[in-house]
Structure 1
């Protein structure tokens, strides 16, 4: 086990054996992943552009004749617009257009995420097509003006009157229903008779845990700069799914997908929110009406009004165990808020499906349809809030049994997936837990809460398991272009939202091609490039990796076809070839080698370009595949004020092979910091009387800042998963999972106050 901090990078650059296997179990002779560049802490290839201002984000493109857009928002949760007075706005300085439902072009309803293969919309509401209002904050008008200030001023002059209709806005009293599906699967899962087994178990915990709404607050607010060229639409968007947005906008405007071009070279944070919302549709519609390029950059308030976030949940976790702590019954049920116009029940039981080996299991999610802005993905949807409930309940049971919380978890470690019955592709959670506990000093934890003091501060330690599933979505493809100069370019319609995609994929491609990283360029962020890739579900790295593997193999086959009888490679098959030192060589004979330059020169070619689709991801049908980890937290609680200060966090992870030590550490720390926000401060204040978000700004919606963040140490097993491309599993969403419970458990160990409703604020500790 190696830490990834500056003091200890012993894993970085270590040569590892060729252990990648294809989904059918065959070795991949072209993997070349034993080269030192895999795992090395390579600095971000786009870092210089970003720190020097050379990277242009969606709201930084300037188009000739461009105007600026601003939105006006509804102030009721449900009803009709009876009067919309735009006269003052139209007469304001610089105004080019005021567009409402009275003069908007005909638009089709956008395809919702998870309802079609490439749907990207947050909801299926008609956009500015009638006088209906569906949530408090819905856009009711668009203003175009020569400057942003003129557009915002004019939008403030619009006056609306409404005929309100009864709205459902109170989650506590709303009726619930069983959703059609949860992430495409069943909303409930049962193994045996959990309620009966729970009722007869000698040791039991049965508690309700609640989590609030959360809103997205990426450093880069949502923005788009776009223009129509005849019937073709060009967008510079802040997007984590360029192909999905292109497809969805084509459906809205009734044009071919090939007529929509989405460019998104840099994204200042996405976390699940940078998909398709009404602002892109409205900007494109207004640009068409005005026949001018348009830039629309949402304000912080605008993001809260138009872009969905995480839904609130109420969860019951009931665990029945024998006297030794073995789980006889594990029940995790509850409800989440949703709307009838989207397709994302917050999947809070996902982690419970795979973590513990209970004899009987019952999992179920119900939803309450509210008249609100549609909820959406937010970093580790389901797992981040579900692990708060599950891991808090396990801590409560451990205390009842007088067991160390780590020991209770160890006693319920499953041999196979407890709900699917599949074998785990790779699971080294116990190793990660042991190493993390040793590094953190877990043996210093007091078994009795409230025993350790430092002045007015009560000190406690807590832990919680982290997990997030491995996924590899279909549709990925890659194009590799190899030139006689020895340089290579890899084109994939992928995304860089700050997680290091471009850097890691440059390393992977360089390793496969046997080239220095300086001679490889990874080209991404454009819907015109190869494949359909989504930066979500922590699956983009695996999806791209599968595509690059396929394209690389096809490239080597094409190079061998160019080989003539005078080549030292003549007669060799692809299974006898490896890529090294800027060329192809025989695996069994180091003397049989030829550079790419020489192969192309012999064939009279300046370059060779090959595109290939990723092989279908069959691994998930054979194995239960997840990343795991253990989060350790040290909390201090003031006995005088109830203030909570987190003094240390450590995450010890089992996530397969780590492809870049530096970007992985950054991803883990970022997720854990977001977990601190979830635990201690993040909460969307929602007025149940009006359905309005009351704190739509960073002044009132609190996220962790520098002074809130303690020392964070991360470490990992670095044991490759033999059933994934490159041996790696996703890490982007793993870091946030478990943090909420680890903090809550540490707070309890410090002061003896059990908090079952996030965030952990002063009023819950006094």
Structure 2
């Protein structure tokens, strides 16, 4: 696999805009970086889960005799003997941490079973091997109850999805159905996407240590504050008594945003046995207790005049959640903003099922919604005999199509122009099955990328020391995207110091808090706003010291030395209880106000070349170009990695990834990397990524998120290229051999 990367991003200082090496790079490549299952602790025990084998029912009996007889077993906990917990509280926008609960199940405090795989017991032992051996010996009896586990059979019972300020649902303007019926040219098709599971490099793991009523948790999480607040509620201890440490997180993609069974059960077990407990989920365990992406059935109907201008746009969806909660996908979110049409109808529906609850997964909504929308746009282009890029250009909106709000920044047409030149789109012959290289049918496809750009709040502290060093402290997490590196660059330019003198502390709830964590491509811009504010406060304070000490214009270190101060520190945000409440209120007010004022988002254009074996139907993606409009890029090296990672994840969605659920039992049939196929090196083509470098005037330093937009539109670009190569239109992911032949 080869990769090329260029950038048009202007440098805004000596650090921002430069490809600075990751500050944690050396620790990771030398193996000294510690993850949540690698911290050495005295008297440590290990835990293993026992999973339910029915989709819905009640436990009638549990026999733990054989398990307790395994040498090294410390305890076997079930709903009959586990300590009592407070049940999860309902999620509400007024308390963002209430969204932390992956499910409403009160683990090991109930005899009810809500999905096949729900933990019904945990074994604690001196070694992980003993715990796993004993867990396999626990025998559970059930009263089976009727269960809804077949999505295809249940989709007819779907109900309208309720929206909220973060994830709106249905919307419309004009009479889209009448306009569709009257349109000279129209396409109207159903598209499906399968359920998918998170398979981060680091499986979920928790190490819990109680000291009286004080708790320390080493956790693989995207949100330290969500973990702390949720554990405080469930275990009835003050949040101040809980410390959550996530030095390094080996990938998350949304799956490590909420708290799942492993975290709760490990903490419960540690309290019960009075010793530290480590619970590392197996690959199968991750798939059985950590929510993934919902399947979807989508209808996209487009009506247009013979000039290609849209007259009607209909996008509807059905998705699922678990009966014990879950997150529905905002499938039509990109359709609100991408194309201008006088008549639009958007409707999202959900069906509750007795399956593992769904949750955030990289670019929730847009990742699957763009597949249907961008495939339909391609189909319309062929019906019109028009170039797919030209069709998109003709329907480019000047303002938000649904509400008339201005775009804070939008250069999607320019992204297509740049991408077409870099990719060589002009070399494409438009007729399907018209390009060939030996036995390979060659096709080219395009699709738009879209992901909303939001900004939340963050508390930070910045300290300047007499030795010239700068310390930034923030309770953020780094899942490998280079978060700490970016904040070091931002602080360096804000204080006009070399980036090498800046150190960033993160991954610990003892640091200034961040209410949302790393998710929704919001962490970098959210923390950056506070870092910039703190650096400005620090500069003002040092300037005042310089006037008092007669060191105006001298280096910071001289001013501090003249003032006989070892350091000066400033903070943004308050860590008091009232301060946190006020901070969250300000954050939500700003969020809602921004949503009302403009549409802020990232955009992109994907160009894909595929080769399809004419005899076997084998699909190989042979070349990729992605051009993105994401504002200012802080670090070209880490940003390019994020774009490429998103594209690779999108290739998995397009060609191989699907969670297979037995429609009779509700059991996941491929809960591991041996049967759930993610892309490997041989599946990934040369990926050329670039960006326009046009700052967003409504955000700190003009930046928007880069972590999720890369995966949006990818599956559609592949499907459109497959159609161009073969003449076969695949509307059901993944694109497997049988669908191409």
* Shorter-chain TM-score above 0.5: yes
Match of 1:84 in 2: 62
Contact 1:113–1:122 at 8 Å: present in 2 too?
A: no
Residue 172 of structure 1 aligns to a residue in which SS?
helix
Q: State the Cα deviation string for residues 332-381 of structure 1 (Å, max 9, x = none).
A: 10210112432521111011111111111111100010001110000000
Contact 2:7 2:636 in 1 (8 A): no
- Spell out the pairing of 1:84-483 with structure 2 (5 A cutoff): 84-111=62-89, 116-119=95-98, 120-174=100-154, 175-181=157-163, 184-274=166-256, 275-474=258-457, 476-483=458-465
Following TM superposition, by how much is the alpha carbon of 1:621 offset from its aligned partner in structure 2, in angstroms? Answer: 3.5
Q: Choose the corresponding residue for 1:609, options 569, 573, 594.
A: 569
CA distance in structure 2 between the partners assigned to 1:72 and 1:170 by the alignment = 24
Compare 739-748 and 618-627 and name the one that shifted more: 618-627
C-alpha distance in structure 1 between counterparts of 2:416 and 2:491, whole Å: 33
Inter-partner Cα distance in structure 1 for 2:663 and 2:726: 33
- Indicate if the aligned counterparts of 2:340 and 2:397 stay in contact, CA closer than 8 A: yes
Show the counterpart of 1:589: none
1:638 to 613, 618, 624: 613
- Whether the aligned pair in 2 keeps the contact of 1:72 and 1:155 (CA below 8 Å) is yes
1:297-328 CA-partner distances (Å, limit 9, x unpaired): 00000001110000000000011111101111
Deviations 1:147-181 (A, max 9, x none): 11000000000011111000111112211112332
Give distance in 2, aligned partners of 1:477 and 1:294.
Answer: 31
Distance of 2:203 and 2:343 partners within structure 1:
45
Contact preservation (8 Å) 1:228, 1:293? yes
**Post-superposition offset of 1:602:** 2.8
Following the alignment from structure 1 to structure 2, what is the Cα–Cα distance between the partners of residues 607 and 112?
Answer: 44
1:113 Cα deviation from its structure 2 partner: 6.0
Report the 3-state secondary structure (helix = DSSP H, G, I; strand = E; otherwise coil) of the residue aligned with 1:656: coil
Residue in structure 1 matching 2:527, options 529, 533, 544: 544
Contact 2:5/2:689, CA 8 A, preserved across alignment: no
Instruction: State the match for 1:39 in structure 2.
Output: 17
RMSD: 1.5
Q: Is the 8 A contact 1:567 1:594 kept in 2?
A: no
Query: What do residues 127-154 of structure 1 show as CA deviations (whole Å, max 9, x unaligned)?
Result: 1112110000000000001111000000
Alignment-derived partner of residue 38 in structure 2: 60
8 A Cα contact 1:684 1:693, kept in partner: yes
C-alpha deviation, 1:531, in angstroms:
2.5
2:558 is equivalent to residue 598 of structure 1: yes
CA–CA separation in structure 1 for the residues paired with 2:47 and 2:624: 43
Give the equivalent residue in structure 2 for 1:31. Answer: none
TM-score by length of 2: 0.95
Which of 477, 490, 501 aligns to 1:495? It is: 477
Counterpart position of 1:719: 694
Match of 1:735, SS state, is helix
- Three-state SS of the structure 1 residue aligned to 2:571 is strand
Higher mean Cα deviation, 616-625 or 311-320?
616-625
For residue 6 of structure 1, report the CA deviation from its aligned partner. Answer: 7.4
- In structure 2, what is the Cα distance between the partners aligned to 1:319 and 1:9? 36
- Shift in Å at residue 473 of structure 1? 2.0
Determine helix, strand or coil for the equivalent of 1:522. Answer: strand
- The 1:112/1:561 distance shift into structure 2, 3 A limit, reads farther
Q: Which runs of 5+ in 2 are unaligned?
A: 574-582
* SS of the residue 2:468 aligns to: coil
Deviation at 1:225, TM superposition (A): 1.1
SS of structure 2 residue aligned to 1:118: helix
Q: CA deviation at 1:502?
A: 1.0
Q: Give, in whole Å, the separation in 2 of the partners of 1:185 and 1:89.
A: 45
Aligned to 2:501: 519
Q: 2: distance between equivalents of 1:668 and 1:155?
A: 41
Matching residue of 1:30:
none
Distance 1:182 1:760 in 2: 33
1:438-483 superposed Cα distances (whole Å, 9 cap, x missing partner)? 1001111121101111121110000000010101123x11100110
Q: Are 2:4 and 2:686, in contact at CA under 8 Å, matched by a contact in 1? A: no
With over 3 angstroms needed to count, the CA separation of the structure-2 counterparts of 1:343 and 1:698, relative to structure 1, is closer
* Structure with higher helix content: 2
Q: 2:8, 2:690 within 8 Å by CA — same for their partners in 1?
A: no
Q: Deviations over 1:572-623 (max 9, x none)?
A: xxxxxxxxxxxxxxxxxxxxx1221122223221101111138854544322
Q: State yes or no: 1:695 paired with 2:674.
A: no
How far apart, CA to CA, are the structure 2 residues paired with 1:606 and 1:516? 20
Query: Which whole-Å CA distance do the structure 2 matches of 1:410 and 1:621 have between them?
Result: 26
CA distance in 2, matches of 1:333, 1:154: 48
| Contact 1:97–1:143 (8 Å) recurs in 2 | yes
Q: Does residue 765 in structure 1 map to residue 740 in structure 2?
A: yes
Gaps spanning 5+ residues in structure 1: where? 16-33, 570-592
TM-score by length of 1: 0.92
Deviation at 1:522, TM superposition (A): 0.9
1:573 maps to which residue? Answer: none
CA contact (8 A) 1:619 1:724 kept: no
